[in-house]
Amino acid sequence: MPDTIVRIDPWNPDRELIARAAVTLSEGGLVAFPTETVYGLGGNGLDPEAARRIYRAKGRPSENPLILHVASPAEADSLADITPNAEKLIEHFWPGPLTIVLHSKAIVPLTVRGGLETVAIRMPAHPVALALIEKAGFPIAAPSANRSGRPSPTDAKSVFEDLGGSVDLILDGGATRYGVESTVIDVTGNDVVLLRPGGMSVEDLISVVGSVSSPDGEHVLKRSPGTRFRHYAPGIPLLTWREGEEIRFAGDEHGKKRRVISYMGMRRFPEETLRSIYFEDPENYARGLFSAMRELERSGAEVIIAEWPEVEGVGRAIQDRLRRASGGH
Ligand code: AMP
Ligand code: MG
């Protein structure tokens, strides 16, 4: 195993290892670490140079802003103007897979914010992430630890696969629990606006704030630059399929080695396939989707066919990721 990858107990993280990782961050280095959503590529969130290293390592456009990870709600107060909606949501859902966008204070470098007046903040529900942020003593900027455009990493091996040479340390805390990224919402105003569906369901948000608006594509593009880019895509074509539907092949995929990712309909899948990955419910589908994409890509498959889930709960986030991974096919 490469020596940048170090195992860490996700429930009871080793203090010396956390201290070592925190020193790496305070010296301007990059540390990949597990959260409850996916693995993050962490750097000092108040250091513009560290932010530039993150963009470079990921090959990420510098106008696609980074999420700041904090270890407490009080830490968010020092970074942004907390609105009443934000306060309510923080109380209910932090720590957890919910990122809130707020008006930024001057302390957050513009590089981190991709030049915007707003900043995105989250308190992760993972002992390793929380211990690291606490020990560092500053917020950690941490986008998903993949090359830009690739499926997000849900284990340390996938981080190494994408970023091996450009990260100083990878804390390996095993597979992540949600498997999809956080839900991102704009709470700068009275209206709560969904910018990216994710691990926290819209139904849960509505139960606390009454309503959540989902602006059309163009609006989201303006408000959340990251959604503009092609994303989450394996190195082979991915098509989506709904039970009872014919598969609409986009090009010459017909004779190719097809593999299926499915959660409900696999047994009723219309054509024989050589190998499939089956999940028993939407939660497990979300948890395993990105690693399934990577696994099938490594297995020599030429086309991935992924089942299109219902929109409820985490299904909304799965739909979003499949849409972007398939480029709309
Ligand atoms: P990632 O870190 O790769 O999970 O992506 C972060 C997501 O949060 C992207 O979709 C960004 O566009 C979004 N985001 C980060 N900061 C802001 C912000 N200030 N305003 C709107 N969206 C943001
Ligand atoms: Mg990402």
Query: pLDDT for 212-234, tens place per residue?
Result: 998 876 666 566 666 555 678 88
Q: Between helices 84-93 and 202-209, what is the axis angle to 10°?
A: 120
pLDDT over threshold 90, residue 301: no
pTM exceeds 0.85 for this model: yes
Closest ligand relative to 196 C-alpha: 1
C-alpha to C-alpha distance for 96 and 254, rounded to whole angstroms: 42
Dist CA 139 CA 73 (whole Å): 12
Quick check: CB of 289 below 6 Å from ligand 1? no
- Residue with CA closest to ligand 1 atom 1: 143
The pLDDT of 202-211, averaged and rounded, is: 96
Pocket test for ligand 1, best of 38, 67, 228 (most atoms within 8 A of CB): 67
Strand, coil or helix: 96:
coil
Q: Which fold has domain 5-221?
A: DHBP synthase (3.90.870)
Cα of 254 to ligand 2 centre, how many Å?
31
Q: What separation in Å is there between the alpha carbon of 273 and the centre of ligand 2? A: 30
Beta carbon of 223 within 6 Å of any ligand 1 atom: yes
149 CB near ligand 1 (under 6 Å): no
Average pLDDT over residues 253-276: 63
First to last CA, the chain: 37
Instruction: Of 5-9, 109-113, 166-170, 241-245, give the lowest mean pLDDT range.
Output: 241-245
Query: What is the position in ligand 1's atom list of the atom closest to the CA of 104?
Result: 19
Task: Answer whether 97's CB lies under 8 Å from 38's CB.
Answer: no
**Tokens matching residue 37:** 């959503």
Answer whether residue 245 shows pLDDT above 80. Answer: no
Rounded mean pLDDT, 248-274: 62
Give CATH 3.90.870.10 domain extents, the chain. Answer: 5-221
Q: Is residue 297 within 6 Å of ligand 1 at its C-beta?
A: no
2-25 pLDDT per residue, tens: 789 999 999 999 999 999 999 999
State the ligand closest to the CA atom of 219: 1
Answer whether residue 252 shows pLDDT above 80: no
Instruction: Quote the tokens at residue 86.
Output: 């934000």
Strand partners, 147: none
Q: Is the CB–ligand 1 distance for residue 118 below 6 Å?
A: yes
CA-nearest residue, atom 5 of ligand 1: 143
pLDDT, tens digit (0-9, with 9 covering 90-100), for 130-150:
999 999 999 999 999 999 999
**Cα 228 to ligand 2 centre (Å):** 12
Please provide residue 304's backbone torsions phi and psi, each rounded to the nearest 5 degrees: -110, 135
Ligand 1 centre to CA of 59 (Å) is 15
For the beta sheet containing 5-7, the strands, ordered from the edge strand earlier in sequence to the opposite edge, are 5-7, 169-172, 31-34, 39-44, 140-141, 67-69, 118-122, 98-103, 183-186, 193-196
Residue pair 169/42 in contact by the 8 Å Cβ criterion = no
Question: Can you list the positions of beta strands (E) in the chain?
Answer: 5-7, 31-34, 39-44, 67-69, 98-103, 118-122, 140-141, 169-172, 183-186, 193-196, 238-241, 258-262, 275-278, 303-307
The mean pLDDT of the chain is: 90
Strands of the sheet with 238-241, listed across from one edge: 238-241, 303-307, 258-262, 275-278
Q: Measured in whole angstroms, how far is the alpha carbon of residue 103 from the centre of its chain?
A: 22
With 60 as the cut, is the pLDDT of residue 274 above it? no
**pLDDT of 292 over the 90 cut:** yes
**Does residue 270 or residue 215 have the better pLDDT?**
215
Q: Is 119 in the pocket of ligand 1 (CB under 6 A)?
A: yes
Residues with CB under 5 A from ligand 2 (ion): 144
For 80-116, the pLDDT digits (tens) are 999 999 999 999 999 999 999 999 999 999 999 999 9
Looking at residue 305, its pLDDT comes to 87
